[in-house]
Structure 1
Amino acid sequence: MAFFTSEYECKIDAKGRLALPAKIKASLPETSGNELVVRRGFEPCLILYPMIEYKKIYSKIAGLSEFNEEYRKLQRNFFRGSSTVELDNAGRLLIPKLMMGYAHLEKDAIVVGMGNKVEIWNPEQYNNHLIEDPDEFSKLAQKYLDE
């Protein structure tokens, strides 16, 4: 099982390639090889999955009944925002242009390990989605972890 942590400042080159940090690459499961899946996040970021982790989510979404309108909407929006990518020999992945636009990515990115997946953010967008107040963070942690 993949286990990604920490946040990293990264650069995106003129061709739209992002070099994954060494610690992220080292945590990729061998079974996934160089094949990963990138998808649009619910916030304006991209989510990068090792193939083995993506297949778990894929099974749940694909298994929903096509005869239910809400399920079809979920499937349509989930799958349209997903793309298979491969790491090149230098450990870079090419981010599709539409996804770059969705996440407002240009030259700089913040790569955040999120356990079984990795988020890729525009630095300004990322800061807008962080909790600045330590008390708010403490209360949120207590609400969900103190059960």
Structure 2
Amino acid sequence: MESRPTAAGDGGFAFTFHGSYTRAVDAKGRFALPFRLRRAGAEQVEEKYMVSRGADGTLSLQPYDVWVENFNRLRSEPPSQKLRDYLRRMSANSTEVTVDAQGRVAIAPEKLAEYGIDRKITVLGVGSYMELWSPEALAARAGDEADDAAFDDAFFR
């Protein structure tokens, strides 16, 4: 239910986001980023994130440095048409956002509407990033008992 600093391979710090939080979204597309998922600290001047198209019909909210690392990892691949398409897709579908003094993130209401997000948003911590869901879409995505059993077998071995 929180983000915790964990040792990264390069000696720096990475964050592990986990937990699920549902928040209200106002008419300007603002919602309170759960405190347990925030990366604010004394050493940080500004909390920056990138909002981009995520997997499985979600919006992704990544710490800015994680997004840049992923972008640079892609850029290091050998040049190709496919790579240029990926870089365009990543750039065109990403927007930098910051956390305001009240702990809110603002995403254009039109962008939220594309993902079925209106008055409520569920912020789901998924390791190095967060997924932004409409609560209804997330509930519809919930697995059945067979999926639960397969998950239990994979996770609790």
The interval holding the TM-score normalised by the smaller chain is: 0.7 to 0.9
- Give TM-score scaled by structure 2 length: 0.79
**Structure 1 residues 75 and 114, CA, compared in 2 at 3 Å: closer, same or farther?**
same
| Alpha-carbon distance in 1 for matches of 2:106, 2:143 | 30
- Give TM-score scaled by structure 1 length: 0.84
On the 8 A contact 1:105/1:121 being kept in 2, the answer is: yes
Q: Could you tell me which residue of structure 2 aligns to residue 73 of structure 1?
A: 85
Q: Could you tell me which residue of structure 2 aligns to residue 136 of structure 1?
A: 147
| Alpha-carbon distance in 2 for matches of 1:98, 1:63 | 33
| Alpha-carbon distance in 2 for matches of 1:138, 1:39 | 32
| Alpha-carbon distance in 2 for matches of 1:28, 1:63 | 30
| Alpha-carbon distance in 2 for matches of 1:46, 1:90 | 22
| Alpha-carbon distance in 1 for matches of 2:153, 2:122 | 27
Q: SS where residue 49 of structure 1 aligns?
A: strand
On the 8 A contact 1:31/1:52 being kept in 2, the answer is: no
Structure 1: gaps (5+ residues):
none
Tell me which of 28, 42, 45 is aligned to 2:58. Answer: 45
| Alpha-carbon distance in 2 for matches of 1:31, 1:132 | 42
Q: Deviations over 1:20-52 (max 9, x none)?
A: 112112x45654732111111122211111122
Q: Report 1 or 2 for greater relative contact order, CA contacts < 8 Å, sequence distance ≥ 6.
A: 1
Structure 2: gaps (5+ residues):
1-13
Q: CA deviation at 1:2?
A: 1.2
Tell me which of 116, 124, 136 is aligned to 1:104. Answer: 116
- Judge which range, 85-94 or 95-104, deviates more: 95-104
**Identity score, percent:** 22
On the 8 A contact 2:28/2:108 being kept in 1, the answer is: no
Tell me which of 40, 57, 75 is aligned to 1:62. Answer: 75
Q: Could you tell me which residue of structure 1 aligns to residue 22 of structure 2?
A: 9
- Higher strand proportion: 2
| Alpha-carbon distance in 1 for matches of 2:119, 2:149 | 33
Question: Structure 1: which amino acid aligns with 2:48?
Answer: E
- Higher helix proportion: 1
Report how many aligned residue pairs link the two structures: 143
| Alpha-carbon distance in 2 for matches of 1:65, 1:97 | 37
**Structure 1 residues 34 and 124, CA, compared in 2 at 3 Å: closer, same or farther?**
same
Tell me which of 85, 88, 97 is aligned to 1:85. Answer: 97
- Judge which range, 95-104 or 37-46, deviates more: 95-104
Q: Could you tell me which residue of structure 2 aligns to residue 125 of structure 1?
A: 137
